[in-house]
Structure 1
Amino acid sequence: MSIQLTNPVNRTFAEQLSASKGEPAWLTALRGEAAEAAESLEWPKPEKTRIDRWNLTAFGQYKKPEALSSTAELPASVQALLPQDGAAPLHVQRGSGAAFTRISEELKGKGVIFTDLESAARDHADLVQKYLFQALRKDENKLNALHAALWNGGVFVYVPKNVEVDIPLQAIYYNDDEEASFAPHIVVVAERGSSVTYVDYVVTTESSGQTPLVHHSAVEVYVGAGAQVRFASIHHMNDSVVDMTIRKAVVENDGRIEWIIGDLHDGNTLSDTISLLKGNGSSSDAKVISIGAGAQKMSLTTQAVHVGRSSESAMVTRAVMRDEATAIINGVTKIEKGATKANGEQTEKVMMLSPKARGDANPILLIDEDDVKAGHAASVGQVNPEQVYYLMSRGISKSDAERLIIYGFLAPVVSAIPLDSVREQLQRLLERKLEA
């Protein structure tokens, strides 16, 4: 099934799309309301980045993919991302929809749900309706509204109270058809006292072509009291794709969210990762790493909003800019009135490898409470010539010396990633993008 997505997207179109997929009435209504709101809303306005100049309406066509009988049918580049354990939980989305899902009977027996969001909306309607577009408002801006109207595939993860999932749940979203819409929505729910690690990769294959396309995705994470969620995501698509991804976690009392984000996309990028520390004693830790090349433009924002007392946040972003790439790195720590004893720390560092590259590091502290701690560090610079000279004096070539310095610059983030598979895959992509 193929349905053309045109601009503007109106209520009738969104409802017809939903009906064609057999979605429940409440989801059809949600899509219709979002599409109607999108007609009067404006695009987000990130700091110092004019995304309204990007091609933001190349939504492609909704194309329902054929199901895969096994992972052996995946392209070789996608198979390289598969977990080494052939029985590990896995979800694969190809273009506009789910193609493969695997979860053990043991996890099912514990009440864990790991399936595509479209199926979950039918099979677990009450649960999905409780959380879908609650952390992210569908009427906040044009991007959110269009995504709410048009999202496809995605994943729904649900971990019941006091259940610990000790093996990462992995998802791969890949597109091998430049005409297929690509807009996954991810919902992760960890009930009180539970724990889960979720890892995803967002990629295009060699056969995806060079037709302009917007990958617009959204993530909602709900961390219950005393629960722990680790969310890792690596994006690497070709330069014809605009990558627009909004992530938000809501964290209750003594809950914890860990973000590990690798923005290694080759095209223009808007990435916003938000932790709402709603509960007392809640915490977040965000590690973001990025490499820009060519003429790509990137807006990378990490935010922590402190509402609960004694809440803590840490944010570290490191970016390397080559050629004529531009990166605007924003770190926002917001401590609301009443969030006493809150502690927020952030660090943004940008290394530029070319005189034509540009990197801006913008630490922002918004403090509405007195009895708190908050700090920031930011730097933008080039490779230190003294370090290069020192390494060359030890017999190392200039290019190898610069490469070692760059890896050393990124190492504090890469080495701190606790997941071996994510760290190794991130390292491979870093090497490929730096040496291209």
Structure 2
Amino acid sequence: MKGRVFRSAVRRLVAAVAAVVLVATACTTAGGDPGGPGGEEAPGPGITVTPGTGAAPVAPNTPVRVEASGGTITDVRVEQVAADAIAEAGGAGEAGAEGQEFPGTLSGDGTRWKSDRNLTPGASVSVYATAEDAGGEETEVVAEFHTEGVDGDSRLGLVSNHPQSGQTVGVGMPVVVGFDVPVENKVQVENSIEVTSEHPVEGAWNWVDDETAVFRPREYWEPRQKVSVDLRLAGVEASEGVYGTEDDRIDFEVGRELVATMHVPDHELEVEIDGELVRTIPVSNGKGHERFNTTTSGTHVTMEKYAELVMDSATVGIPEGSPGHYRLDVDWAVRTSDSGEFTHAAPWNGGIGHANTSNGCTNMSVRDARWFHDQALMGDILETTGTGRELEWDNGWGFWQRSWKEWLKHSETGEPQVTDGSGTPGSVHGEGL
């Protein structure tokens, strides 16, 4: 069962760190052991903390464990001082830091506690554990040790994330996280990232490649709510010897619900906002003579938009001089895939509303294209049917192309994450720890 979350003040106590003598001990114990005068048993319960004082440099993804004998655990605090804080403080005094929570799980009988977070690499760690027996006798133990540091080539960090904090997005918006090194231990990383929403749902992570993870809810987000993504990467082991060093957080909002639908043979696109049809737009889609000029069928997610854009087929594998090459200046463009599909203005297209003559994009009048561009948020939905080419799940943000059953199957944890703040499906620590 989940125990209480104990408050931890992450104080930078350099003087205390300097007093630690490193010896190879596995744990710290106190209370309930013979050792007083005449071999009498010391009062109060016994406590064991692992890792213990003086333990050799500890891998950051090692869990902190506290066990009590002859009593129950009443408090555990974990304090960490990063190496850079020691340097900033000049080797003494208090460098200063705001308190942070370091949560753990307490067993049902109150005798065992295990941390739910990884430790910060290159940090001095102090664990304060208190237990009490049936007679009210109390024991406190302090264990102090260091975690292994990492160098620049052994760090996991972020290179991109969508959405970004402060953005308002559509109901189909995935959370897309790009890392700067390949991730082998995907289960640990998935379990180190918690998504929380005001309207809780089931969701899960999939990996586009070893450096890109995507979170998607089971169904579209409920509109008009706040969502947060806590990336607790400090201490997570991405691959052997490669650890995250910093936590991060993304806070975004889901706006109104915009869903556009288009049956390509009908030459029109219908736009609903919050379930109400607000506009029917005449369109012209791909000619469909070749794969490259066939509009894809499936659930598209709007990715970005431009008031002006140069569309060059060379960017999607059709270079100048090749059959089908084009280079066009277009206005009011909204991207819906990575294979070159946009909605955009096409005043030159005389087939809008009655014929499909484009190179695969959804052509509109200038007036309609500007309206759609102005309405669109990143993460809105465009559902397209009626063509012979299916949108690939990893083409742009085509992640809704996978059913929920298939999406969950491809999650490394194999279990859903509920976005109610209850945590992630499994352990953030190394396998078997």
Q: TM-score, normalised by structure 2?
A: 0.24
Q: Relative contact order (C-alpha < 8 Å, sep 6+): which is higher?
A: 2
Larger helix share, 1 or 2: 1
Report the TM-score when normalising by structure 1.
0.24
Larger radius of gyration: 2
